[in-house]
Amino acid sequence: MLLIWSWAPAEMFRWTYLFTDAGNMAQYAAGFSHPNFGEWRYYLQEMLVTIQIALWGTFLAAILAVPFGILSASNMAPGTSSSRCAG
């Protein structure tokens, strides 16, 4: 239920922008030097979006941890190079 609530505000559908708009980071970081606390409602709204993004990050990390954990277990994938070197 929380993931559905946070899908649109976290803009999960725009994941490709992580790669295409990386040049905007300097402009974004420059905004931290002169904050305007007169817009506290906007900041509160953006803090909520940050929590929603963290929720999605935690969910995706947990989902991906299970298959990668199984694949890296030596008793599940015994033919890896590390098991050949050890024994």
**CA 71 → CA 3, 59, 67, 79, distances in Å?**
27, 19, 6, 11
What's the whole-model pTM score? Answer: 0.51
Local confidence band at 55 (pLDDT 50, 70, 90 cut-offs)? very high
The encoded tokens of residue 26 equal 């300097």
What is the average per-residue pLDDT within 43-69? 92
Ramachandran bin of 29, using left for φ above 0, alpha for ψ from -120 to 50, beta for the remaining angles: alpha
